[in-house]
Amino acid sequence: MSRLSAMSGYPEFLPGQRMVEQQVLQVLRETFELHGYAPIETRAVEPMSQLARKGEIDKEIYVVRRLHATDEEAATGPDQLGLHYDLTVPFARYVQEFGGRLSFPFRRYQIQRVWRGERPQEGRYREFTQADIDVVGAERLADHHDLEIPLVALEAFERLHTELGLPAVRMRVNNRKLAEGFYRGLGVTEPAAVLQRVDKLDKIGADKVRALLVEEVGLAQDAADACLQLSQITSPDSSFVDRVRALGVEHPLLEEGLELLSTLVAAAAERVPGRLVADLSIARGLDYYTGTVYETELAGHESMGSVGSGGRYDSLASDGRTTYPGVGFSFGVTRMLAPLFARDALRASRPVPSAVLVAVDTEETRGAAEQVAAALRARRISCEVAPRADRFGKQIRFAERRGIPFVWFGGVEGQVKDIRSGDQLDADARRWEPPAEDLRPRVLTD
């Protein structure tokens, strides 16, 4: 039989890595729910007509078809389906479908698998987990939610850093109103076209972006230079406002964007100092963003790119009668964790949940060992019973290989051994507690 090899783009985590992922997801869930976000889960498939309506990502959609479907059914069937490539498209459909039963503004979080047929590389996968939060209104949504979403996201990232030891983050923010107002103040009639080119700044550099603005968008050289000057402004405080105004461009939309962005930067400086900066190069080339936009990087791991992004959109969905504006943020859970696992920068203190291995004297007394395990489990202490009644030395080595810190000998009133220090004490399984740091596997970092 040929040796199996991993499928590129479909990361599978080992048990210890999966336990780290579960702790990360638990921190995210707790943070979201503390802020009143309700959990939802949508189906994995959506009609192709819904998934492909944006156009720019239709080549990356995985189509789902019945194995024995005819070619005609596969091409034209009304039930032609695809796997969702993000959580925004299914959420838009969900809001339309259940809008009459939801209370607005509707706050939701969603943690699910996503599938996208792109070229696999570090941080980019064909199957991955995302965690999204959104606040959606019916017809209108107050501007203060543009501040709320990134602050909730930063609170979650800060908890991952302080509680689990993940790298700290830096969130870079801009406002599409600021950028569009600036471009319109220059006389640009197609600001979206400028945004799409500026969005390539990190990938191709300023000279090539300038050439695109002149050759493809038709900007004059001085207007292209002004757009690039704007994109090079960055600041951890509100000083960016004066730097923008010093460029000499005026437009009401520009002033609105400056006010919104400076308010966010000031709020973040108070709540999570040092974690958010205004960066006017952030464009988020997708057309549906209309206000504040966010991108987040891990400090020391900037080569991984953004591990969380989002922004304001004026129309998540519309049923012809009601339009649903919103603000959202997406955490790239797999995008963040898989490279850290590959670099051994993140791992579990042990690869199993068990804190205790209950030794077995003989197979005839296995029942007594099971009673000990039951007493421990009744008090939420994870444990397992030794698989064989080997010599105690072998059972201890078995625990060592699994990373289990304690071995229990005897009945409910027996002895427990810390196999790391060698200490062995009398103990009662109905009362004994392991040290708090040994109760659950911990997340370890370099």
Residue among 445, 196, 105 at smallest CA distance from 300:
445
Q: How far is CA 225 from the centre of its chain?
A: 35
CB 369 within 8 Å of CB 360: yes
Residue 116 assigned as binding residue: yes
Residue 333, token pair as written in the block: 């859970």
130 is in an annotated binding site: yes
134 is annotated as contributing to ligand binding: yes
| Cβ neighbours around 1 below 10 Å, total | 3
Residue 159 annotated as part of some ligand binding site? no
C-alpha distances in Å from residue 57, one per residue of 48, 84, 117: 12, 11, 9
Q: Is 446 annotated as a binding residue?
A: no
Binding-site residues for L-histidine sit at 86-88, 116, 130, 134, 284, 288-289
Feature table: binding site: 86-88, 116, 130, 134, 284, 288-289
